[in-house]
Amino acid sequence: MSDRINGWKSIAAHLGRDRSTAIRWYTERQLPIRRVPGGKKASVYALKSELDQWIRGQAGEELEQVSDPVPERSSDMPPLPPLPPLPPSLAEPRKRRGLIIGGAVLAIAVAGGLWLVSPFGSRPAALPQDATLAQSYLDAREDWATRTPESLMRARRALETITRREPGFAPAFAALADVYLLSQEFGDMDRRDAFHRARLAAEAGLEIDDTLADAHRAMGFVRYWSDRDPVRAGDAFRRAIELAPDVAQTHFWYGNVLVDNGQYAQGLQQLNQARLLEPASVAIQTDYGWALWSAGRDDEARTLLDRLARENPDFLVIFDCLSVIHLADRNVHAFARDFSRYAELRGESADIDLSKRVAAALDSTGEAAAWRVLVSGLAAQADGDPSRDHSFPAFAAAMIGDRVSLRQILQAADSRDENWGSAGMTRRIQPVVQNDPEMRSLLARRARALVTAAS
């Protein structure tokens, strides 16, 4: 007899539960589900032996469908329970500087790509059937928009409860995916755990409703920034736009991905569409400025970002972008100022420590010493964290003319077979290595495939 069980319905029958419960257990309890690649809607199957082993491992835990209370909107909730360990393959790169997520620019999802513009975007009408859950869902949208660690915690708990109590309500899964992605920037979630949970939530939403545009968008984000798969990311974003063409957040994220991948004309077109849909969004304006700089329109970028910094002194991505631009200009004092502001707003200890060491070296020894501290510090961060790539330390070394460090950094990236976006920075590294065949080859091997086919 075959050990294989095909499809959610049969899997649920083996478990003695309904289809929605099986999907929920897959999302929340790591139910061992396998996927068959290909097609617009992935097929799933499971092995009876693995399901039975999983059930035995749940001994002592309640597997019935419980009526979980909706969490109160208080700011003193205890932290969520720890997540299971993830395989190294789920480690995700840094964006802007390799995606902030741990460093200065490219940090926060392509200059802010992680900031959702309108909460959960595509379908404004859908609400849970239960009136209490519907109110909780609306509260979660408000908490998401606030973007503080406390509000994101409330949103996560509320949405997790909704997916348990009304597991057929697909928009809650897509919303939860967005909140997980945001929580690794503004909240307390580890970025690998956040991407892993976001993937599971988006997949669960698509199993319920494969026309859910927000879930396709979340999958596009995960595929580009975590999987390093531009082709499948592009497929997901275009499907999201096909299903809901007037959602600013989707054009915003898609534009960021295209720009990061060096497809500037297409990326700027998407960002302009997002600007038309959400003209007051500081996040979109900031990333538009970053896109201008990435595409070589430096003066326009500086003018826009300087204005945004004056008007929004607490929006950290602006200072992330400006610090990188100052580095390209070799303006060490402006870099130290804006990098320090970025690190302060971000609150990540590694960046705060590095910004202080750069400032101390600048004050005590001078510009050359400050640059050396920066390059060595960024390289050490990338060397010690598999979720970071070496694009930003390579850029820093190239901009200050430190060819010895640049070669070492490129060799380290090659040893890990890194695949970079960060096109605005890599295009500025290219002239530095042009006359060095080894470094030119090392840099060329970091290139990614196109997000969309060339026209």
CB 391 within 8 A of CB 422: yes
Question: What does the pLDDT look like over 269-323, one tens digit per residue?
Answer: 999 999 999 998 998 999 999 999 999 999 999 999 999 999 999 888 899 999 9
Residue 27: predicted pLDDT: 67
Residue 109: predicted pLDDT: 38
Both tokens of 289, joined, read 């400025």
- The chain-wide mean pLDDT, for the chain, equals 82
For the chain, the domains span: 4-57
Give 280's contacts (C-beta < 8 A, 6+ positions apart): none
Residue 455: predicted pLDDT: 39
What's the gap between Cα 291 and its chain centre? 17
**pLDDT over 60 (residue 399):** yes
**pLDDT over 70 (residue 340):** yes
State the CATH architecture for 4-57.
Answer: Orthogonal Bundle (1.10)
Length of the chain, please? 455
Q: Mean pLDDT lowest for which of 121-135, 225-239, 348-362?
A: 121-135
What's the gap between Cα 443 and its chain centre? 24
CA distance 346 to 108: 10
Strands 43-47 and 4-6: antiparallel
CA distance 439 to 437: 6
Question: What does the pLDDT look like over 156-208, one tens digit per residue?
Answer: 999 999 999 999 999 999 999 999 998 887 767 888 899 999 999 999 999 99
**pLDDT over 50 (residue 453):** no
CA distance 358 to 373: 6
How large is the average pLDDT for residues 354-364?
A: 96
> What residue has token string 């400032």?
359
Give 313's contacts (C-beta < 8 A, 6+ positions apart): none
Residue 241: predicted pLDDT: 97
pLDDT-above-90 percentage for the chain = 58
Mutual angle of helices 8-15 and 19-29, in 10-degree steps: 90
Residue 75: predicted pLDDT: 36
How large is the average pLDDT for residues 324-349?
A: 93
